[in-house]
Structure 1
């Protein structure tokens, strides 16, 4: 299938078909609200917070936010990645046949969440799995991957280093590649997050969802969510990513009109250290599907994470809260909500993408 045809085939119907297939294997995660966070986000930032920004000296925005948190941190293996991994593997079995897939096994590279997800899916379907992980991956994610019986092989931290090890292993084993994000069936699987949250929002009788914000690393989640909402223009889709050491490759690429191919960053949002995939870029760079992408600092990520831990009593990893951080601190986004939402404001769904962290990691962040 050519790239153009693949992009054209990314439709809401394809996401629905993915949901029908994976339902027996994944959780329907909660959609939570928090009036405290609504109030905090709806309070103007201090004038000091706008110093050294384009808004210095201006009156801070007064947006009105109502948040709906899609808790994929409570998904199997603690992240949305279970959706894409199960869908990709089930489709692979359909296309190649169970015998061939079991004989050859599957392989991927991941800093942790897709690693655990594919390991779980492979274990569930009795398929051998080889997982290439950066040596600096969170120990709990490495342990989680191994716990499902996958063979873990270590590599350097960049996507180039990971892919080189994958190619070497494929040559030896003949394993079938299930990419972590730049893959049609993975994108469709991740898009089921949007299908579910829209249904849960509708059950509350709240009307139309104004916006959805997801983290952007490789872009599979954002592209999948944007695909699902592509025929629902009244709901805007945004992305958010860290700015540290150029981790905001998607935002920079959109500004330049060209995908950024390489990223080398050690942002605390370790799930977002990869560049946006080629197929995902085709979706995200389409203004009809994704309205924009915002970048947040390490301190803003930590502040958002602290609020979720302390006010919501929900365990999340740093990558999960970049969307909330954008709502709290990005004045561009806040002014847009103020101007377009007026007194009513916006109903905004934020995807908490994962919760795979440890007490030690949290202590290190806030100690």
Structure 2
């Protein structure tokens, strides 16, 4: 049986030469993604921001780099035996895609809670998908059994020196761009991405600060570095970094090469996803937007600095992305809901619509209710959701409605 994880005790930490070898190995098979200035994100955060667009990979995430390096390290016998991996998302697709390219049989174990769209995406790359286990831990146990009974090679999502070296090529490309950076801000799940990137950064630019970012719901790396026990759990928008246990090898690397790990609230991650969508016109999943979330949550920490962000993945449910955009409009006061108490007679709804329209508001939704006991027998309640230019415009519309003798109550954000 191939061990389901490599450990810091048994395996040496990858070097910059390992990362350079990895870069040569994946050249032409993994996209050298753009690393571009993002002035609108700079205006938003107060930093000078540059973004590495790993969401442009074939599987829309950086995971292809490490997965391919690991697969290329296998000898002929190991390739014939095939590989097995456990993942609910990007690692699954990366292993499936590159294993199919190389003609290596691949089995991917995914938890039963994995969204159907991700299961089908993984199958579409040619892997055998086993949906079993309610949690990642249960699915990992299933994958370990498959490795033991079939002789397949375990491809760990992060605690593997080949995987870590592959992920380090992200920083290698950023530094080779020639853009002088003050800080790399990197999402942290199990630690493979920041581990590889930190090794490369400190070897090539020792003064370059490397900052990790975790969601407050899953502070695994922060707790491990502090030597404390922190509860991890909850429904995070950044499910790609919602990891309860970091790797032994990645933890050893973080202790040596990572300068700090920051925790960000879910609200900051949501704002960051929206900022990528609306300002950069690009798709970011919650984990992919975590670096930008840190700039939003800690603006004083990064003000005036040249920051390299890794948009590490773009696999977000389109319905969730649409919901986030609408919620951000509501937070900005550009979508509001008001309740009007009105007389129940012909022409009133038309008058309301005309009044809102005359003020330049756009009606998105109307709910009309006559049956509530709190409504007068000869009256009605109308809930209207309106698109406006902002809070001042909303106030103007409310004043116009009140001038028409309608009672107006502001409702909670839709």
**Same-fold status (TM-score > 0.5):** yes
Please say if 1:145 is aligned against 2:122: yes
User: Which is higher, the Rg of structure 1 or of structure 2?
Assistant: 2
User: Hey, what does 1:169 align to over in structure 2?
Assistant: 146
Question: Counterpart of 2:318?
Answer: 359
Could you tell me which residue of structure 1 aligns to residue 69 of structure 2?
Answer: 87
CA distance in 2, matches of 1:71, 1:17: 22
> What TM-score do you get using the length of structure 1 for normalisation?
0.82
Judge conservation of contact 1:158–1:263 (CA < 8 Å) in 2. no
**Candidates 10, 14, 19, aligned match of 1:15:** 19
Q: Given the alignment of the two structures, is residue 123 of structure 1 paired with residue 100 of structure 2, yes or no?
A: yes
Give the deviation of 1:296 after TM superposition.
0.9
User: What is the aligned-residue RMSD (CA, Å)?
Assistant: 1.9
Shift of 1:6: 2.9
Give the 5 Å matches for 1:23-34: 23-34=27-38
Q: Which of residues 169, 173, 179 is equivalent to 2:156?
A: 179
Once the two structures are TM-superposed, the CA of residue 266 in structure 1 deviates from its matched residue by 2.8
Aligned to 2:196: 224
Supply the distance in 1 between the matched residues of 2:223 and 2:187 (Cα, whole angstroms): 15
Structure 2 CA distance for aligned equivalents of residues 151 and 5 of structure 1: 31
Shift of 1:31: 0.9
* Structure 2 equivalent of residue 298 of structure 1: 266
3-state DSSP of counterpart to 1:314: coil
SS of structure 2 residue aligned to 1:132: strand
Q: 1:337 to 1:302 in 2, by over 3 A?
A: closer
Matched, 1:285 2:285: no
Structure 2 distance, partners of 1:171, 1:284, is: 30
Change (3 A) 1:194 1:259: farther
> Structure 1 or 2: larger strand share?
2
Q: What is the aligned partner in structure 2 of residue 56 from structure 1? A: none
Does structure 1 retain, via aligned residues, the 8 Å contact 2:63–2:94? yes
The answer to which of 132-141 and 296-305 deviates more is 132-141
Report deviation, 1:299: 1.1
Whether 2:246 is the aligned partner of 1:276: answer yes
* Counterpart residue number, 1:335: 300
Alpha-carbon separation, structure 2, partners of 1:81 and 1:172: 26
| Other structure's SS at 2:274 match | helix
Counterpart pick for 1:190 among 160, 167, 175: 167
What is the CA distance between 1:165 and its match in structure 2? 0.8
Q: Check the 8 A contact 1:209/1:349 in 2, yes or no.
A: yes
- Runs (4 or more) in structure 1 with deviation over 4 Å come to 364-367
Write the distance in 1 (CA, Å) between the matches of 2:201 and 2:10: 19
Deviation at 1:297, TM superposition (A): 1.1
Aligned counterparts of 1:127 and 1:254: Cα–Cα separation in 2? 37
Q: Give 3-state SS (helix, strand or coil) of 1:78's partner.
A: coil
TM-score by length of 2: 0.73
The structure-2 alpha-carbon separation of the partners of 1:157 and 1:273, relative to structure 1 and needing over 3 Å to count, comes to: farther
Deviation at 1:259, TM superposition (A): 8.0
Uncovered stretches (5+) of structure 2, i.e. residues with no partner: 1-5, 327-414
Q: Give the deviation of 1:147 after TM superposition.
A: 0.6
> Per-residue CA shift, 1:20-56, capped at 9, x if unaligned?
11112100101122212101101xxxxxxxxxxxxxx
Q: What residue in structure 2 maps to residue 62 of structure 1?
A: none
- Unaligned runs of 5+ residues in structure 1 are 43-64, 339-344
CA contact (8 A) 2:88 2:111 kept: yes
- For 1:51-80, what per-residue CA distance to the aligned partner results, in whole angstroms no more than 9, with x for missing partners? xxxxxxxxxxxxxx1111000011121000
**1:239 counterpart residue number:** 212
Give how far 1:137 is off.
Answer: 2.1
